Amino acid sequence: MTRLLRGIYIVFIVLRFGLDELVLNSFEKPGLRLLARIVSIGRDLRAPRGQRLREALERLGPIFVKFGQVLSTRRDLLPPDIANELAKLQDRVPPFSSDVAVAIIENSFGRSLNDIFVSFERQPVASASIAQVHFAVIQDRNGSQREVAVKVLRPGMLTVIDKDLSLMRMMAAWVDRLSSDGKRLKPREVVAEFDKYLHDELDLVREAANAAQLRRNMEGLDLVLIPEIFWDFCHTDVMVMERMKGVPISQTERLREAGVDIPKLARDGVTIFFTQVFRDGFFHADMHPGNLQVSLEPNSFGRYVLLDFGIVGTLTEYDKEYLAQNFTAFFRRDYKRVAELHVESGWVPADTRVDELESAIRAVCEPYFDRPLKEISLGMVLMRLFQTSRRFNVEIQPQLVLLQKTLLNIEGLGRQLDPDLDLWSTAKPFLETWMVDQVGPKKLWNQLRAEAPRYAKLLPELPRLVHDFLKHRQTNSNVQLQQLIEEQRRTNRMLQGIVWVGGGFLVGLLAIQVFVRFHHFF
Integer angstrom CA distances of residue 310 from 15, 56, 129, 284? 32, 24, 12, 9
How many CB atoms within 10 Å of residue 344?
Answer: 13
Residues 247 and 255: beta-carbon distance below 8 Å: yes
Residue 224, beta-bridge partner list: 304
Cα–Cα distance for residue pair 255/156, rounded to 1 Å: 37
Residues 332 and 252: beta-carbon distance below 8 Å: no
- Gyration radius of the chain's alpha carbons: 34
The closest alpha carbon to 260, from 305, 306, 303, 307, belongs to: 303
The closest alpha carbon to 125, from 303, 290, 301, belongs to: 290
Cα–Cα distance for residue pair 141/28, rounded to 1 Å: 64
Catalytic: which of 286, 308, 319, 418? 286
The closest alpha carbon to 269, from 377, 119, 426, belongs to: 426
The closest alpha carbon to 424, from 359, 364, 367, 371, belongs to: 371
Phi/psi at 90 (5° precision): -70, -40
Residue 40's H or E segment, with its range, is: none
Cα–Cα distance for residue pair 213/226, rounded to 1 Å: 10
Q: Is 162 noted as a catalytic residue in this protein? A: no
Cα–Cα distance for residue pair 326/434, rounded to 1 Å: 13
Alpha helices in 283-422 (DSSP H): 317-331, 335-345, 354-365, 378-391, 401-417
Catalytic residues: 286
